Amino acid sequence: MMGRTQVSWTTACSSVSWTTLWSNFADGTIHDNADRGAIHDTRILFAGSKGFIGMELQAIREIVARHRHRPGAMLPILHEIQQVGGHLPATAIAIIAEALNVSRAEVYGVITFYADFRTEPPGRSIIQVCRGEACQAKGGCELEEHAKRSLGIDFHQTTTDDAVTLEPVFCLGNCACSPSVRVGDEVHGRVDATRFDELVAEAKASSGVGP
């Protein structure tokens, strides 16, 4: 579950950016709840955009249709869309809002509340470094510094070759063998700088990018 890198919505929706979406919303449509559902076709939001691809939209619609009748369907929907596409494309918002009978602002509010949900595509591997106290007690801060320095990026950023996105995480429950790192769904314990570099190399190799 929660595989991160199978498909990326961006390949299909590359020119539908969040900026585009929000500049559309800025004209006031988003603020009017009475208006919700009125825009049945997200294409209206992206009028003039050549990024709209029907196939991805269909996949999102199917996911939404499968979950919409479950109580509290929002998080399961968001998780599955992100699992399939790697992130939550702007096109998903209106579909979810309409299906769950909430405003698009509410959907956006939920997406931005949770650390897991991303509105931009991540790198081919997501590496999380634990910042919890139990990791700090065993050199977690030094590992964090090494991770940033060796990848040349800060937390929440992606390397220029799109290979790795670095994220902080507050506890992986692996405290007894700290410091801990998660790559995809695999948790690694007692990670030092050398081990971290190995994990990065393995992640790059498995996603088809040389070291």
Q: Please state the closest distance from residue 47 (CB atom) to other proteins, in A.
A: 30
Backbone angles phi, psi at 107, to 5 degrees: -60, -45
Which one of 163, 169, 199, 203 is in contact with other proteins (CB under 8 A)?
169
Name beta bridge partners: 125. Answer: 164
Nearest Cα to Cα of residue 100 among 134, 127, 77: 77
Q: Enumerate the H helices of the chain as residue ranges.
A: 9-13, 18-25, 54-67, 74-85, 90-100, 104-113, 133-136, 140-151, 193-206
Of the candidate spans 35-43, 86-94, 109-117, 158-166, the one that interacts with other proteins by CB under 8 A turns out to be 109-117
Q: Please state the closest distance from residue 50 (CB atom) to other proteins, in A.
A: 32
Q: Which is nearer to other proteins, 44 or 75 (CB)?
A: 75
Give 3-state DSSP helix, strand, coil % of the chain, rounded to 5.
50, 10, 40
Q: Which is nearer to other proteins, 53 or 105 (CB)?
A: 105
The single-letter DSSP state of residue 120 is S
Q: Please state the closest distance from residue 103 (CB atom) to other proteins, in A.
A: 12
Of the candidate spans 15-23, 27-35, 43-51, 76-84, the one that interacts with other proteins by CB under 8 A turns out to be 76-84
Which one of 88, 99, 172, 203 is in contact with other proteins (CB under 8 A)?
172
Rounded Cα gap, residues 123 and 204, in angstroms: 10
Buried-state track 29-45, b at ≥16 Cβ within 10 A, e below 16: ebeeeeebeebeebeeb
Q: Cα–Cα–Cα angle for 22, 26, 28, nearest 5°?
A: 130
Which one of 117, 120, 148, 202 is in contact with other proteins (CB under 8 A)?
117
Query: Interface with other proteins includes 174 (CB under 8 A)?
Result: yes
Binding mask 50-69 toward other proteins (x if CB under 8 A, else -) reads: --------------------
The single-letter DSSP state of residue 127 is E
Query: Interface with other proteins includes 182 (CB under 8 A)?
Result: yes
Query: Interface with other proteins includes 190 (CB under 8 A)?
Result: yes
Site for other proteins in 77-106 (CB under 8 A): 78-79, 100, 106
67 contacts: CB under 8 Å, gap ≥ 6: 73, 76, 77, 80
Q: Which residues bind other proteins (CB under 8 A)?
A: 1-2, 71-76, 78-79, 100, 106, 109-110, 113-117, 132-138, 169-178, 180, 182, 185-190
